[in-house]
Amino acid sequence: MMSPEHTTFFTKLTQILRKHGLKLSFALVTLLIYSNYLYTQDTLFTLIALCGLVNVLLLGRASKAHQAGEFFADPLSQLSVTGTTLTVKQHQLDVTAINKVVLDRLDDDEGLLDFPFNRYQKTAMRFPAEHLPAVRQWLLTHLPNATIIR
């Protein structure tokens, strides 16, 4: 019988493999290529393969952090409407100019709200996924003419 430590380890390992399986497969192939060039002592291709291995392991990290926006525990605290002006974080947008709003789940834990067709391009925010219904209702109430994109 397995001890709780082993169960936890294998559970975590299974979660990692499910989440990053393709990335780990690419890393394994690149590692094999790197090992081959290292064994044949081909310095140039060894360095190229090593750079490829590092890039595969970092795949997706910068883009997610850069594009997803800031995290807010309470997204409704960052939204307000005064007259025809919508304030998102510190940015003010004209309510009549907002036709589309992105509201979707990023993963099991986080949601995303963005106004992609505005002049600031920094209005995206991430928040706990349990706030999705409240944010959707807020948008339907305050921006009734906007289409919510998933």
* DSSP states along 135-148: HHHHHHHH-TTSEE
pLDDT of residue 66: 45
Compute the average pLDDT of residues 61-76: 70
pLDDT band at 54 (very low <50, low <70, confident <90, very high): confident
Rounded CA-CA distance 113/77 in Å is: 13
Contacts of 61 (CB under 8 A, 6+ apart): none
Beta bridge partners of 88: 79, 91
- Residues 123, 89 contacting (CB under 8 angstroms): yes
Compute the average pLDDT of residues 42-53: 82
Higher model confidence: residue 73 or residue 21? 73
